[in-house]
Amino acid sequence: MYLSTTLIIVALSFFVEAAPRSLRSGFAIPISKRTRLHDANGFIDIAKLQRGVRHSITKYYLGFQAYQQNTGTRHPSAPLVKRSEKRGAGHETIVEPYWYGSIFVGTPPKTFTVNFDTGSSDLFLPSSTCDSSCNGHILYDTSESSTAYDSEAPFVLQYGDGSAVRGTLYTDDVSMGGYAAKNQTFGGATSYADGFTYPGWLPDGLLGLGFPTLSGYGAMPLFHNLVAQGILPTNSFGLCPSELYIGGINDQLYKGDFTYVPVTQEGYWQTNTDGIYLGGQKIAGTTNTIIDSGTAMILGDSKTVQAFYDQIPGSYPTGDGYYSVPCSFDSEISFQFGTSNFTLQPRTFNLGTHSDDPKACVGGIVANDDFGFWILGDVFLENVYTEFDVGNMRIGFALPA
């Protein structure tokens, strides 16, 4: 049964901009980042990029399925047809752990590393009964915690290639930073899908920071549990490449003022961009967008993405939605929220040199028509300080310090 919260969506008609800076207390969780996008010769691994995109697509289908199960209605952004399955793609389970850090589980607390994913809502860890697919990871053992409870309820997170993360649901005390969520539901895996095995996957598990309606367990996500318990100084978290800040934002890691945009559809951290620009030229207007730390690239519809690359002399498609651009390309790319534009640094847009053409580099904006929205992943998030504000149902962006 889905656990509803007292949170409601407030329909915001306008953007709240230039909010004054205030000192907020909270706890910082240092983040490690790993990028495994290159082959042994230092060239960009196109096959690995393609698998990463297919994983993200599969993740969204899982989220849409959970949303319908929890609410009884189809998510407004869910496609009517699973296009990736229809064309035979989306069948590999590969995850790139771009943002990961430590949490603490049980009494006494035991440290686990998890990938922080704003594009999903559940927590899972490898359990002490996991098979060899969990080798190399720290294991969760109920016998080591006085606050552990085994629900004996099974869970399965099924992926398109037939592999899955499966196991049993537990509850225990789980801490993020200095805040402990009591009786937190999470999955203890007895087997891991290929994409979560060590050493390809460094974190022990995954922690979703999305909304309750996306929970495949029908349970309260960890951050929302902290909100419901009323123990946070501010019901938001800040994210940048070096840190996840629980209970507000870290004033030392951004400059200027925040631009806030409303969450337009509860479930994902979903909002609208007001424009996509290349070299000062507007490529697209208002665009339905999801902010997702669990996706490496920026994914957009093929028509707009092609129009984008058509404005770059020397660019050409390299297959599966990817494009190559001259490695010397450095025109300004920006995304507009309200009246503020946030620019991609060339180093984040340029993924690396193509093995077939030493003068060509692969661009971080990828065409995909599975969904009617854009996904702004790591390629975008590396360029901003982001506040995910549950209390006010909004997302804030500021320039990194």
117 a catalytic residue = yes
Domain definitions of the chain by residue range: 26-246, 251-400
Residue type, 339: T
Check pLDDT > 50 for residue 316.
yes
* Residue reference for tokens 């996008």: 37
330 a catalytic residue = no
Q: Tell me the chain's radius of gyration from C-alpha atoms.
A: 20
DSSP 372: S
Average pLDDT, the chain: 88
* Residue reference for tokens 């946030």: 342
pLDDT 10s digits, 10-50: 333 323 333 333 335 799 999 998 665 666 667 887 777 77
Question: Which class for 58: exposed (0-12), middle (13-18), buried (19 or more C-beta within 10 A)?
Answer: buried
Backbone angles phi, psi at 161, to 5 degrees: -90, 5
- Given this model, what pLDDT does residue 83 score? 61
Residue percentage of the chain with pLDDT more than 90:
72
- Given this model, what pLDDT does residue 16 score? 34
Residue 252 CB: number of other CB atoms within 10 A? Answer: 10
* Among 214, 256, 44, residue whose Cα is nearest residue 117: 214
Helix (H) or strand (E) holding 376: strand 374-376
Say how many residues make up the chain: 401
Which residue has better confidence, 93 or 305? Answer: 305
**What is the fold, at CATH topology level, of the domain defined by 26-246?**
Cathepsin D, subunit A; domain 1 (2.40.70)
pLDDT 10s digits, 62-94: 999 999 999 999 999 999 866 654 333 333 445
- Given this model, what pLDDT does residue 177 score? 86
Helix (H) or strand (E) holding 83: helix 83-86
CATH homologous superfamily, domain 251-400: Acid Proteases (2.40.70.10)
- Given this model, what pLDDT does residue 37 score? 66
Backbone angles phi, psi at 338, to 5 degrees: 60, -125
Domains 26-246 and 251-400 equal at CATH topology level: yes
Residue type, 74: R
Check pLDDT > 90 for residue 98.
no
User: Of the residues 117, 122, 301, 389, which is catalytic?
Assistant: 117
Tokens coding 193: 């899908």
User: Of the residues 122, 172, 292, 301, which is catalytic?
Assistant: 292
Rounded to two decimals, what is the model's pTM? 0.90
Residue type, 398: A
Q: CA–CA separation, 349 vs 96, rounded Å? A: 17
Q: How confident is the model at residue 144 (pLDDT cuts 50, 70, 90)?
A: very high
DSSP states along 247-286 = TS--GGGEEEEEEEEE-SBTTTTEEEESEEEETTEEEESS
Check pLDDT > 70 for residue 244.
yes
